[in-house]
Amino acid sequence: MRKLSGIFLVGLCLGAIGAVVLTASHSGPPAAEAVAVAEPLTTMSDSPPSTPTPTPTPSASKSATPTPKSAPKVDAAEVDRLMASGTVSAVVFDRERAAATVSVRADRGYTSASLVKLLIALTVLERGGPTASVQRMLSRSDDDLASQFWAAYGGPAIVTRWAGKLGLTGTRAPEDPGRWGDTRITARDVVRIYQYVLEHAPGAIMAALRAATERGADGFRQYFGIPDAAAGRPWAVKQGWSCCRPTRMLHTSGVVGDGDRYIVVVLSEHPASVDYATGSKRVTAIVSALLG
């Protein structure tokens, strides 16, 4: 990520994006954490009273393949085994059941990389900004556009405002106000953001996520995780990647299934010695296990 010189100068973030969320420690896999199955909606999405619980809505489908009735239940030990090194968090939220079927380290914090672009997009569209540019920022994970919007629409205040509005308990603005990709997030909070986007945000945001390009604006292949693991199911994604301060981040987030049934978030932090290709394969393997 290119650093802004000054509080809000335009820069280019090294990484961009990332879905169900996952974690494994650098000193070896952490002890398996209890997985919340059929977690109550109020636990996963206790939004302010003004934000009603989203309900499934029809969506454009990339395939006619039917969605399974329920996602498989995967525990932390299986997630850690697939991760091999580093840390991973994962959440699968079934909107039809209004419950989380998988919740592994949902409150563990990560550097957001490009996932913060969801909050940037919400802000720009709310204030009547250019829809086409916002969609390009999301679908191609364009860092230059993100930096321009960050500087023009409030910088760290973007994160602070949405954290308060949506009740994002683990989301924090970056310590360096010019580095939007250093925003702190959790898997639980990313699920809340998707719930809000699906129910209340302009349709332009989901349209952009459904149109995510295989290569990002920086040339990075952003079909790891959800797209590669979807196995014919319809999907929409916002991905994130960055390196190395001092670790490598690879995040996949979005919705999978007919009617956008499942919100899937996988956040992962890898040692810098793990290259992007290897890390991407690990994230994809995790999502495959989560989706079955």
Q: What's the pLDDT tens digit per position in 42-62?
A: 334 333 334 334 444 444 434
Per-residue confidence (pLDDT) for residue 53, from 0 to 100: 41
Order of strands, edge to edge, in the sheet holding 87-94? Answer: 39-40, 99-104, 87-94, 262-270, 248-256, 235-242
The whole-angstrom separation of Cα 223 and Cα 137 is: 16
Residue 172 amino acid letter: R
Q: Spell out the residues 6+ positions from residue 259 whose beta carbon is closer than 8 angstroms to its own.
A: 56, 57, 58, 59, 67, 95, 96
Q: What is the CA radius of gyration of the chain?
A: 17
Is pLDDT above 60 for 9?
no
**Looking at residues 250-273, what average pLDDT do you find?**
98
Per-residue confidence (pLDDT) for residue 60, from 0 to 100: 40
57-291 — its CATH code? 3.40.710.10
Q: How confident is the model at residue 74 (pLDDT cuts 50, 70, 90)?
A: confident
CB 100, CB 70: distance < 8 Å: no
**Looking at residues 162-181, what average pLDDT do you find?**
98
Would you call 47 exposed, middle or buried from its count of C-beta atoms within 10 A (0-12, 13-18, 19+)?
A: buried
Q: Which of 68-82, 171-185, 206-220, 249-263 has the lowest mean pLDDT?
A: 68-82
Beta pairing partners, 241:
250
Is pLDDT above 90 for 16?
no
Does pTM surpass 0.85?
Answer: no
Per-residue confidence (pLDDT) for residue 67, from 0 to 100: 43
Residue 286: CA atoms inside 13 Å, Cβ hemisphere, count?
Answer: 42
Q: Which residue has better confidence, 50 or 101?
A: 101
Q: What's the pLDDT tens digit per position in 114-150?
A: 999 999 999 999 999 999 999 999 999 999 999 999 9
Per-residue confidence (pLDDT) for residue 71, from 0 to 100: 52
The whole-angstrom separation of Cα 281 and Cα 130 is: 35
What's the token pair of residue 139?
Answer: 């679908």
Q: Which of 20-24, 66-70, 87-91, 129-133 has the lowest mean pLDDT?
A: 20-24
Per-residue confidence (pLDDT) for residue 52, from 0 to 100: 39
The whole-angstrom separation of Cα 254 and Cα 223 is: 12
CB 94, CB 171: distance < 8 Å: no
The whole-angstrom separation of Cα 106 and Cα 91 is: 7
Per-residue confidence (pLDDT) for residue 62, from 0 to 100: 40
Q: What percent of the chain has pLDDT over 90?
A: 74
**Looking at residues 186-194, what average pLDDT do you find?**
98
Is pLDDT above 60 for 39?
no
Is pLDDT above 60 for 160?
yes
Do the bridges between strand 87-94 and strand 110-111 make them parallel or antiparallel, or are there none, so unpaired? unpaired
Per-residue confidence (pLDDT) for residue 27, from 0 to 100: 35
**Looking at residues 222-246, what average pLDDT do you find?**
97
**Closest to 148 in 3D by CA, of 18, 8, 16, 2:** 8
